[in-house]
């Protein structure tokens, strides 16, 4: 007997399942079409080196939400890792996100914070009177055109393959611009990586007698015990898969970006001296290289000194068969999304959540936070005991 079916075992689905099992004593079945749980946060130990590799791209945990921080600490401890990124542009390496160090290195100058602010203000004057309603204008308003063209334009073209005037401004607002030498990538109160890896954390969330996990099970398949056709209307469903696919793409395809990961074990103990190096130039085919050993300096004595795992990340538009990773969110996408939301509102007994189910860029802490809110505000009144 199942009281609730959760489709998708990413952090959204895991949080809903755990809360409903624990707080309401429900029997929850979690299904996932993949052969492992955890969604895109899943990681594995590389067979050759033992180095933990995040299968779907580097995952850095950070949050300023105290409820989420307390919640995740029930399942894992965190290392004191602080994320810092560098970017290779024109054969030179600069700190990212853009800070006083980046600005002074780029302009070969020694500006103080106020001089640098004045310079950027001058360089963004071309936008006076115009609405800051797309990525390009937002970036120029924040850093001026020369820095935009060096650090953002080429990288964004590779990452999104969409005219930056078509992209929403909030993509770039994720990156801080600082008039200090602080080059932390995130500005959140808490940050770190799970001490014994993402998979151990994911398994602890699933470890509850009220939770059953079924892998290799596609909810939108034609046949099987846990399909849309056989469950909707019979059992409450929380769906965290792709919204457009749920509705058979009736309102058109929502635009997604996917990534190709090119993994290589290189015969050196340290390839690039840092976890992530971005490549801002348009003629380098990948956007960044991850070197996974550097995410866990505290494991140095367990990792080999003569080999390292690097992953080059390539970005492209997703077709229907690809993994959808980042919502592109053009104005046309936003119109389609409204049509899908109207359909979702009429779908009785099904709750849509998570990155794919809401077509929103959600970080792990946002997925967990929004799942906790869905349990409190929607599932508890409807299903709670």
Site residues (CB under 6 A) for ligand FAD?
A: 7-13, 31-34, 39-41, 56-61, 218-220, 240-241, 259, 325, 354-356, 362-365, 367
- Omega before 355 within 30 of 0, i.e. cis: no
Closer to ligand UDP by CB, 93 or 339: give it: 93
Q: Which does 363 bind (CB under 5 to 8 A by kind): ligand UDP, ligand FAD, none?
A: ligand FAD
Specify whether the CB–CB gap between 252 and 244 falls below 8 A: yes
- Please state the closest distance from residue 107 (CB atom) to ligand FAD, in A: 30
- Please state the closest distance from residue 61 (CB atom) to ligand FAD, in A: 6
**Token couple for 254:** 């929502």
C-beta neighbour count of 339 within 10 angstroms: 14
The H or E element spanning position 105 is helix 100-107
Q: Which does 98 bind (CB under 5 to 8 A by kind): ligand UDP, ligand FAD, none?
A: none
Q: Which does 256 bind (CB under 5 to 8 A by kind): ligand UDP, ligand FAD, none?
A: none
Paired with 30 in beta bridges are: 6, 213
Q: Which does 56 bind (CB under 5 to 8 A by kind): ligand UDP, ligand FAD, none?
A: ligand FAD
Going through 206-255 in order, the beta strands assigned E by DSSP cover 211-214, 237-239
| Catalytic residue check, 355 | no
> Given 174, 264, 270, 378, which residue is catalytic?
174
| Catalytic residue check, 298 | no
| Catalytic residue check, 108 | no
| Catalytic residue check, 257 | yes
* DSSP 8-state class, residue 39: G
Closer to ligand FAD by CB, 11 or 151: give it: 11
| Catalytic residue check, 178 | yes
DSSP secondary structure string, 107-145?
A: HT----HHHHHHHHHHHTGGGTTS---SHHHHHHHHHHH
> Given 18, 34, 137, 257, which residue is catalytic?
257
Q: What is the largest CA-CA distance in the chain?
A: 68
- Please state the closest distance from residue 374 (CB atom) to ligand FAD, in A: 11
Q: Which does 174 bind (CB under 5 to 8 A by kind): ligand UDP, ligand FAD, none?
A: ligand UDP
Beta strands 28-31 and 4-7 are: parallel
At residue 354, φ and ψ (nearest 5 deg) are: 85, 180
Closer to ligand FAD by CB, 174 or 334: give it: 174
Closer to ligand FAD by CB, 104 or 258: give it: 258
| Catalytic residue check, 84 | no
> Given 178, 293, 336, 355, which residue is catalytic?
178
- Please state the closest distance from residue 63 (CB atom) to ligand FAD, in A: 8
Q: Which does 51 bind (CB under 5 to 8 A by kind): ligand UDP, ligand FAD, none?
A: none
Q: How far apart are CA 64 and CA 326, in angstroms?
A: 22
* DSSP 8-state class, residue 78: B
Q: Which of 199, 323, 184 is nearest to 256 (CA)?
A: 323
List contacts with ligand UDP (CB under 6 A). 87, 96, 151-152, 155-156, 159, 171-172, 174-175, 278, 280
| Catalytic residue check, 196 | no
Q: Which of 133, 292, 308 is nearest to 198 (CA)?
A: 292
CA Rg, the chain, in Å?
22
List the catalytic residues.
174, 178, 257, 288, 313, 361, 363
């Amino acid at each position: 007997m199942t009281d609730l079916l959760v489709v998708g075992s990413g952090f959204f689905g895991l949080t809903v399942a755990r809360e409903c099992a624990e707080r309401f004593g429900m029997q929850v079945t979690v299904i996932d079409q993949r052969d492992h749980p955890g969604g895109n946060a899943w990681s594995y130990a590389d067979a050759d080196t033992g180095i933990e590799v995040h299968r779907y791209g580097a995952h850095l945990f950070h949050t300023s939400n105290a409820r989420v921080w307390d919640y995740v600490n029930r399942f894992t401890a965190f290392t004191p890792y602080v994320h810092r990124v560098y970017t290779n542009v024109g054969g030179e390496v600069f700190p990212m996100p853009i800070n006083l160090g980046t600005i002074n290195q780029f302009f070969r100058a020694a500006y103080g914070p106020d001089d640098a602010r004045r310079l950027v203000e001058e360089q963004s004057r071309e936008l006076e009177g115009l609405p800051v309603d797309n990525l390009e204008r937002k970036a120029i308003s924040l850093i001026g055109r020369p820095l935009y063209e060096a650090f953002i334009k080429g990288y964004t073209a590779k990452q999104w393959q969409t005219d930056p005037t078509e992209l929403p401004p909030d993509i770039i607002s994720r990156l801080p611009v600082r008039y200090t030498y602080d080059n932390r990538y995130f500005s959140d109160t808490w940050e770190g990586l799970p001490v014994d890896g993402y998979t151990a954390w994911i398994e602890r969330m699933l470890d509850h007698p009220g939770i059953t996990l079924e892998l290799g099970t596609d909810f939108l398949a034609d046949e099987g015990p846990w399909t849309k056709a056989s469950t909707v209307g019979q059992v409450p469903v929380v769906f965290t898969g792709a919204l457009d696919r749920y509705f058979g793409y009736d309102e058109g395809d929502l635009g997604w970006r996917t990534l190709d990961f090119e993994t290589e074990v290189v015969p050196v103990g340290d390839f690039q001296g840092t976890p992530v190096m971005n490549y801002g130039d348009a003629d380098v085919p990948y956007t960044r290289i991850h070197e996974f050993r550097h995410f866990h300096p505290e494991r140095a004595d367990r990792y080999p000194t003569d080999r390292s795992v690097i992953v080059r990340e390539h970005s492209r538009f997703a077709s229907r068969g690809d993994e959808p990773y980042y919502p592109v969110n053009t104005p046309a996408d936003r119109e389609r999304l409204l049509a899908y939301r109207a359909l979702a509102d009429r779908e009785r007994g099904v709750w849509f959540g998570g990155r794919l189910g809401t077509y929103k860029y959600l970080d792990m802490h946002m997925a967990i936070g929004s799942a906790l809110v869905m349990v409190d505000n929607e599932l508890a009144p409807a299903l709670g005991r």
